[in-house]
Amino acid sequence: MSKRIVSALQIGSSPEGTTATIEKILSYESQIKESGTSLVVIPEATVGGYPIGSNFGAYVGYRTPRGRGDFKRYFKQSIKIGNDPECKEIKTLEGLSKRTGASLVVGCIERDSYTLYCTMVFIDPQLGYIGKHRKLQPTASERLIWGQGDGSTLTVVDSKVGKLGGAICWENTLPLLRHSMYAKGVQVWCAPTVEDMPMWETIMKNIAFEGRLFVVSAVQYVPSATEMGYGVPIEGSDNERILPGLESSDEPCLKGGSIIVDPFGKVLAGPLRGQEGLLVANIDLDLIIEGKYDLDVVGHYSRGDVFQLTVNEKSTDIHFV
């Protein structure tokens, strides 16, 4: 049977920090179970936070001490990723995956030595943590706070809903990255993001159509700072925001827009805007076969004789032998 249920959990980081964010994710446990979903995609940077609107005190030519302090506080909300027992947030998420029977794809801020990465983590109900993908190219001000992933985490994993892969936020616009992922046989494209502009729907539909696969994009929803009671953040006070960047405003910080699309570009669910929630859709993997009959950009439709793509998957880490 090729029919499955997939979902995007539209949620936002807690301004209280990572511990509170993890609790918030766990609060969806019964809803996930009831939905019967086999996959939950959680937005970019949910665990660790997306410091919307901060410039981390960076100007061309200098940085402010307050910006450095912002970075330090942000750094401390990031997590370590791996199978080590010290990766306790991963352990907690593994528990959720096991109890619900759903694969999780979770947007996290990863700490590796002193560099942060915007990472999506793949967690399997049986196997636990099975891999990760680091954003290759942070966008604009993100380059101030996140490192660049290298080719070693173009991860694709198996799951009950087929092969999972994808990209984070604006790296979804990279044609060569997408082509690489298509070539690895991705069937359900996971796109955690914080991007809430209307154009996002276009980009997601295009990937579904071009790649002939299902797209599940989870977008953060974060209410306005006012609504969250963060009207007057004062550094050092009890009311101190943990995530830098939440300015007082009546507008939502991040509006959401999670969406699920089929291989012909047809929207199956969403876009969900202006609220938290679990967005669910039924998918039929056989539809991919039908789509590829028309168009297979990494198969009968490609022109490998003209376009030769080489993907360097070697880690750029220093190599101790």
Determine which one of 44, 89, 94, 195 is catalytic: 44
Q: Which of 17, 75, 98, 228 binds its own copies (CB under 8 A)?
A: 75
Q: Which of 16, 150, 227, 276 binds its own copies (CB under 8 A)?
A: 150
Q: Does 51 bind its own copies (CB under 8 A)?
A: yes
Q: In the stretch 155-194, what mask flags binding to its own copies with x, by CB under 8 A? A: ---------------x--xxxxxxxx-xx-x--------x
Report the C-alpha gap between 321 and 95 in whole angstroms: 36
Q: Does 321 bind its own copies (CB under 8 A)?
A: yes
Q: How many residues does the chain have?
A: 321
Q: In the stretch 116-145, what mask flags binding to its own copies with x, by CB under 8 A? A: x-------------------xx-xxxxxxx
End-to-end CA distance of the chain: 47
Q: Does 91 bind its own copies (CB under 8 A)?
A: no
**What is the DSSP-derived secondary structure letter of residue 300?**
T
For residue 272, the SS3 value is: strand
For residue 128, the SS3 value is: strand
Report the C-alpha gap between 10 and 220 in whole angstroms: 6
The closest of 188, 48, 68, 166 to 118, measured between CA atoms, is: 48
Q: Which of 114, 234, 238, 250 binds its own copies (CB under 8 A)?
A: 114
Residues 209-228 that bind its own copies (CB under 8 A): 209-210, 212
Q: Does 81 bind its own copies (CB under 8 A)?
A: no
44 catalytically annotated: yes
CA-based R_g, the chain, Å: 19
Q: Does 305 bind its own copies (CB under 8 A)?
A: yes
Report the C-alpha gap between 207 and 214 in whole angstroms: 9
Min dist CB 250 to its own copies, Å, is 17
Q: Does 206 bind its own copies (CB under 8 A)?
A: yes
| CA dihedral over 224, 192, 179, 263, signed as positive or negative | negative
